[in-house]
Every structure is written in structure tokens, then in C-alpha cells.
Chains A and B, each alone.
Chain A
Amino acid sequence: MAFVSRGFMTVTVALALTACSSTTGEDAAPAASGPLKIGSILPHTAYAGAGEGLVSAVDLAVADINDAGGVNGGKVEVKQVDSTDNNDTASQAVDQLVTWGSNVVIGAYGSGMSGAIIGKITDSGAVQVSGSNTSSSLTGINKLYFRTAPTDALEAAKLADLAVQDGHGTAAIIAQNDAWGQAFQKSLVDSLDAAGVDVVAQQQFNTTDTDYSAQIDAVVAAKPESVFLLAYASYAGSMIESLVGTHGFTSKNVYLSNSTLGEYTIKPALLTGLRGFLAGPDPQVEADFETRLKAANGGLKSFAYAASTYDAVVVSALAAIAAKSNDGKAIAARMTEVSGGVAGATKCTTFKECAGLLGQGKAIDYDGLSGGLAFNAQNDVTETAYQLYAYGADGKYAVAQ
């Protein structure tokens, strides 16, 4: 039995390969007449359920597309596999999607995992679109890789802008000593330099340190007007406790990265006034979208990156319509165009509206739930909506009023 299934696998893989090479040979011709197949590789339960909202967003987007008539004359098919938080497991899950014949793969959740599986997906000829990768190390990594989430570098620029707007001319940074933290720190230093803000202290910490008092003391000793915490929420609690609680640093002058915004067990009074940016739609659009997601999956708690994942599905479906083909490479070639990267196109905000315009032969500019998108030459979004969040007296963060 095992032998049989392995043989079967080989045949399928061989078939997939031939199918792939035949479509690349004749790019313009509408590829295999099958339906558009959208696969997703997202964490279904890992990361404390942070990926559940993304999984529901993919389902919702596909339902919206099919309700509006599907793509290129057929209903879109969807297959969602669990990436877990382990790169090896994710890599095996990608094999399932490739064998299934995905034209578009949505995911992965984390930038590191995307980097690990990008080769497998794009080698199969599918286009990979992530709604949640923010590391600037992925910029321009592959012609078939797109993302609807903005890079950390843009967030760094926004944070620097906010600090100047608050009247600060000096800053200190505490950054997590890993690929994410270092890249973010570099972007932030560049942004602060460009704004003329003096960076008086830069401290990195290891997640395995027994305590972070050395970093906090060094930052406090430099007497900065503002402090930037680039740390995962699981490590930042004691830093905030020490900085705001013990050393009495004013909380509204502490700025947080998107990953630092989270739930804390420390006293709410210490959190009050801390601010940070999250990429996302404007509050009304977000609220409506969350209501729709909750209707589909009542247990959802986390909605971060759900809207941008919805957009990832919709924009790739629109690109398939514009390309009149479900082939991954043909879709990739039209992504920039339909997202608004070309001047003079008609703006539209829903799949139905955009597909209608495309049907009339018009050029479109899809402005999604998460912002205007508009992919650039490196396949990064250039029109992003950011929301400023602040912690209230209850220790929870909400859109700043």
C-alpha cells in the first residue's frame, strides 16, 4: 500500500511538473481551464490562536468572490493547510498545496517561515501572497512573492514621525536581539536620523537573559525624552514595569512596536498612555469586517492582519481576472496593475465592483480593507493604513481617540 501511494505521488508530482512547464512555455494563452485554486498555509491553532482570524478571512474572501460570480468563469476552490509554528511541518504542508495544484498560496503567518517555504511555492509556479509578513528582509525576494502587510520599516518611519510630533528630539531604543528586532532597530535609527532625532542609547537584549535591568538602567542613564520598545509582548512586561514603574519614566513617551502591543499581567496603571501603530483598516471598516468574521467564527479573538489577508485573496483573484488566466505567473504579472500601481485606473473597493469594471474592459485600482495596497516594483504595498493604538486605564489597548 505504501508503495502504491508513493508511486501515485510520483505520478502526480510529475504531472504537476509537466503542467507547470507547459504553461510557462506559452504565457499569453489562457492556461489550463480548471478553476482558480487558492491554497493557504496559516497557523490554525499555534501562536495562541493569532492565526485563526486569518484562516476565517481567507474563507470569507473566497465566499465573497464566489458569490460575485467567481473567477474566469469558474468558482474559486480553496484548501487551507495548518502551518503550525514549525518550519519543517510547514514545509511538508506546502507539499500538499503544490500537489493539489494551487495557483495562489496565501501565507505564511510569520516572515521567517515565509522565507523558509518561498522557494517551494514559487518553484511550483504559484504566486505567494502574505497578509502578515512585515520583515523588510523579504522585500524583493522573489517575483512571485507579494504581501499586503506593510514592512516594519514603514512602521519605524511612522513611530519616528509620532515622536517628533510629540515634541521629542532625543530617543532611546531597546530592541530584541533577533532578525526581526535588529532589522526593525536599523529602520528606526534611519528614520530617527532622517527626522533629526538624536538616538542617545541603543540597547539590545537576549530573550534568554535573566533580567533586563542592565538595558533599562543604560537607557534611563542616557536621559532620553522618548523610549522605543521593540520587543515581543512576552518580554516587554518587566521592561515597562521597570521603566515606567521603578524609574518613573512618563508612559506617554514610551513607544511600542506592533509586536509589543499585547496583553500584559502588569499593573494597568503602568500601561496607561503607551502607544504604538498597528496596520489595519480605519475603525469603522474594521468593526464591520470583524462583525462579518465573528458571524462565521464566533470564537475569534484576534483580528490583527485578518483584513490584509482578506485583501491578499481578493487582489490575487482580481489579477487572475485581469490576466484572463489562473496561472500563477500570469497572475503575478497583473498584481501591481490591479492594486493601483498604474496611474489612471478606476478605484474600486469590493471584489464585485472591481470584477464588474474588469468585465467592462476598464483598468482598476483595488483599494482593500487594509488600505490602498498599490504594489511597487519590489512587490511591497505602498499605500498602507496605520492605526495609532493606546493603552487605556484598564490596561487594554484600543484605537487612540
Chain B
Amino acid sequence: MIRFIKGALVTIVLLLVTGAPALAADDWGFRGLLRDGQRAPVAGATVTVSGDGGQIGQDVTDAKGRWAVIPVPGPGKYRITIKSADFSYEVTKELVDSPTTLHVQNVVVSTSDTAPAVASLTDRLAQRAVSGFNLGLLIAIAAIGLSLVFGTSRFTNFAHGESVTFGGLTGFLLAYVAGLPLLLAAAIATVLGGVFGYAQDVAFWRPLRRRGVSLVTLMIASIGISLAIRSLMQFFFGSAARSMTREDWGAVRLGPVVLPATSYAGMGISVVVLIGVGLWLTHSRIGKATRAISNNSALAATSGVDVDRIQRIVWVVAGGLAALSGVLLGVFNQVSFDMGFNLLLLMFAGVILGGLGTAFGTLAGSIVVGVCTEVLVLWIPADMKYVGGLAVLVIVLLVRPQGIFGRRERIG
């Protein structure tokens, strides 16, 4: 029965829409819906439409609170009066002869003020904070590579965003096109991202470094390479965004916070990977050498560290981490040819906020940027959300120019 009514309604709409153009051109009127404060339909109310010359038409609301079209002679101002046992309401509506309005105006009226049904601030805050932490971890994984490359070679790589996109697109090919399980696809994409990082170093950066090209020139070159790779990816992938996987892990509700299960999994993977990178930097020989070069490259070289080899390893790690971040971002949002480029600004913000070239600073900085970006949208328009995160960056730098973890002597 309900289905029939629904079907009939759709038919009515369709008839009004398409039936005969003549109907749209000549028939004017009002129809509508009467509800109470709890959004439930109110039946049995009398609806009267009247013009300057008095009453024109009348109808009584049905069980669904609807009243049928009450025809009026043409465009103009009309008074709609709705009366039931304990409710009386009057509104004036105008029908305009314009290509942008309909000739039959649908009107919703509520018998009492609807209580605002907005979720509480704490609930919204919790949801935004968890989303922000998620974004922060994504930025951190991608940005640590950027920070390590800067630390070991003082090179600001603007093409790092494309390493993130590379991970996203590779993950898409493996998980969506080839149909591999998501986790396996993520692992393979991470390895291939490492290869991509190594290839970049071998193809461009090492030859350029060897020729003694200045850091500014390198930076400009990286902007060019970023553009070239991005255009290439757009050419092959197209400009539409696509889903990373066909798998559906469902959603998880923790108190007021609802996120896809994949986001929690992504956060778990991020934390594990970040701890791993931290341990590698502090405990392994290569990690220690990496930090030594970051501190003082010349001193490290004279102490017997193979700077070139470490730089190569750092490129592999940076590429792999960026690719992993791309896969996680692609699962969280969707895969597109410019996904990494769009993340680049936030990566730089994280790196600079934490202190240039310090891996742990980058982690802290990225999470601060992520959380601020996502939480501040409770008070600023969401389309300006980066303003919040980047304003925090400026304020912190005014107080602490070296960044949160940066050391003072490196400035200047």
C-alpha cells in the first residue's frame, strides 16, 4: 500500500514535470505538507487559499499531512490559511511568472517550532578530533620522507606529493583493477613506492647533486618534475576520482565517533609504521647515520659515513612511506591524479611546524596541523579549513621560529 502511494506520488511528480508542457504553462496553485514539532504529519487541518477577491480554494490535510493542489487563476500574491482544532497559521506566498520558479508552489508548514536536533558540541568535537588525528597521521607518514630528504641533502622536494599519488594510483591498480586484498595491495604499493623513490634519486637528483647544482635550482627542478609527473598521471588515469577498493569493511561507532573501519585500520598501520621508523632512526646503524648527516653532513662524512649511500636509502624510505600514505588517503577519500599535490601544502606545514629536518618534530607538527585543520571547522567554514591549520603554523613560528622540535642554532 505504501509502495503504491509512493509510486503514485512519483507518477504525480512526473506528470507535473513532463506530462504536458501546457499544464506547466497554464496551471497555477499551491500544495503542501503540514507537520508538528516532532516532524510527524498532521491530518484533518483545513487549508484555505485566498486572494484579493476572497477565498479561492480549500482542502483538508490527509493522513500524511498533505493537501492537494489548490488551483489559483495565475501569478500574484495569495494568502494561505491553515486551521485545525488547536492551531491556526497564515502565510502570504507569491507566485511569480519566471523561468526559474514552478507554477505550483509546494509549502511545508510546522504547527510548532521544531526543536533543533543538532548533535552536541562535545560529540562534534570528538568526531572532528579523531578525524583530525587520522589526517595528522596521514600527513606525518607522507611528510617524514620529505623531512628525511631535507635533513640528509638540504633539498626541498616539491615533487614529493607525486610520490603520494604514485602510491594511491598503484594501490588502485592492485586493489580495484587487479582485485587483490586491500592490505596486500597496500604492502605491494609501499614496496613499489620505495622503488619509485629510488628511481627518482637515480634518474634526477643524484646526477644533479653530483654536478653541484644549487639547492634553489634543485627546488625549481622539483616543481617542474612534479608538474610533469602529475600531467602524466592525469593523462593515464583521467581527472575523475575513483574508489581504492571494492572491499567493504563497514563503519565503526565508538561513542559519538563514527568512522569507516578502514580508517581505524589505517590509523593502526600508521602508528605501527611511525614507531618502526622512530626505532630505526634511533637504534639502527643506518638510522643513526641518517641523523648524523642531518645534524652535520660534513662531520658525518669525515667520520666515515657514506653520505651518498645513506641518501639513496633515505629516498627509498621516503618513497615507500609516501606511497603508503597515498594508499591510506585513497581509502579514506578516493584516488585521483592530484591527491598527493593537494596534501603537499599540509606536509610542508607539518615539516616546518615540527622543525625542518627533524623526523620526530615532523610527526608532532603533522598531528598538530591535522587536528587543528579538522577541529577548527566547527567554528570556521569547512571550505576554509586549511586556514585554521595554517594559522596555527604562523602563530607557532612567531613564538618559536625554529619549530617545535627544531634547534635554535640551526636558524640563520
Q: Inside 8 A of A342's CB, which chain B residues have their CB?
A: none
Q: How far is the CB of B134 from chain A (nearest CB, A)?
A: 8
Q: Does B64 contact A210, Cβ atoms closer than 8 Å? A: no
Interface membership of B225, Cβ < 8 A: no
Q: In angstroms, how far is the closest chain A Cβ from the Cβ of B106?
A: 4
**Interface residue tally for chain B (C-beta within 8 Å):** 75
Q: Name the CB-closest residue of A to B17.
A: A386
Chain A residues contacting B39 (CB-CB under 8 Å) are: 169-170, 225
CB distance from A160 to the nearest CB of B (A): 7
Q: Which of B243, B329, B374, B383 has the most CB of A within 10 A?
A: B383
A179 at the B interface (CB under 8 A): no
**Interface: A114 (CB within 8 A):** no
Distance in Å: Cβ of A335 to nearest Cβ of chain B: 15
Is B411 part of the contact surface with A, judged by Cβ < 8 Å?
no
- Looking across the interface, which residue of chain B has its beta carbon closest to that of A233? B240
A290 sits at the interface (CB 8 A): no
In the assembled complex, how far is the CB of residue B381 from the closest CB belonging to chain A, in whole angstroms? 7
- B332 & A161 in contact (Cβ 8 Å cutoff): no
User: In angstroms, how far is the closest chain B Cβ from the Cβ of A151?
Assistant: 6
Task: Take A195-B108, A223-B117 as given contacts and tell me if A374 and B382 are in contact as well, using a CB distance cutoff of 8 Å.
Answer: no
A196 contacts B14, CB within 8 Å?
A: no
Tell me the number of A-to-B contacts counted with CB atoms below 8 Å: 197
User: How far, in angstroms, from A225 to B40 measured CA to CA in the complex?
Assistant: 12
Check A205–B241 contact: CB distance below 8 A.
no
- Tally A residues with Cβ within 8 Å of B: 81
A86 at the B interface (CB under 8 A): no
Taking a contact as CB atoms closer than 8 A, the residue among A210, A235, A266 that contacts B243 in the complex is A266
Q: Which of A342-401 contact B (CB under 8 A)?
A: 367, 371-372, 374, 376, 378, 380-388, 400-401
- List residues of A (210-249) whose CB comes within 8 Å of B's CBs: 210-215, 217-218, 220-223, 225, 233-235, 237-238, 241-242, 245-248
- CB interface residues, B 322-366, toward A, < 8 Å: 329, 332-334, 336, 338-339, 342-343, 346
Q: How far is the CA of A5 from the CA of B336 in the complex (A)?
A: 45
Q: Which residues of B sit under 8 angstroms from A221, Cβ to Cβ?
A: 118-119, 123-124, 127
Please tell me if B18 contacts chain A, counting CB pairs below 8 Å. yes
Instruction: Indicate if B260 sits at the interface (CB-CB under 8 A).
Output: yes
Cα(A208)–Cα(B336), bound, Å = 10
Closest to B107 in A: A196
Judging by beta carbons under 8 Å apart, are B124 and A211 in contact? no
| Cβ-neighbour of B24 out of A48, A246, A383, A400 (below 8 A) | A383
* Residue pair B10, A218 in contact (C-beta under 8 Å): no
Interface centre among A170, A206, A210, A385 (most CB of B within 10 A): A210
Cβ-defined contact, A195 with B240, below 8 A: no
- Complex: A160 Cα to B138 Cα, angstroms: 39
B93 is an interface residue with CB less than 8 A from chain A? yes
Within 8 A of A (CB), among B28-48: 32-33, 35, 39, 41
Residue pair B241, A235 in contact (C-beta under 8 Å) = yes
Residues of B within 8 A of A238 (CB): 241, 243, 333-334
Q: How far apart are the CA atoms of A396 and B295 in the complex, in Å?
A: 57
> Which of B7, B33, B246, B343 is A167 in contact with, Cβ under 8 Å?
B33
**A367 adjacent to B10 (CB under 8 Å):** no
Point out the residues of chain B lying under 8 angstroms from A200, CB to CB: 116, 118
Asked if A197 is an interface residue, CB under 8 A from chain B, the answer is: yes
- CB pairs A–B below 8 angstroms (28 shown): A164-B33, A167-B64, A169-B39, A170-B114, A195-B105, A200-B116, A204-B381, A205-B382, A206-B383, A208-B342, A214-B128, A217-B124, A221-B118, A221-B119, A223-B117, A223-B118, A234-B241, A237-B242, A237-B334, A238-B243, A245-B248, A247-B251, A248-B251, A264-B243, A372-B24, A382-B25, A382-B99, A388-B17
The 5 A-B pairs of least Cβ separation, nearest first, read A372-B21, A153-B100, A164-B106, A204-B383, A211-B333
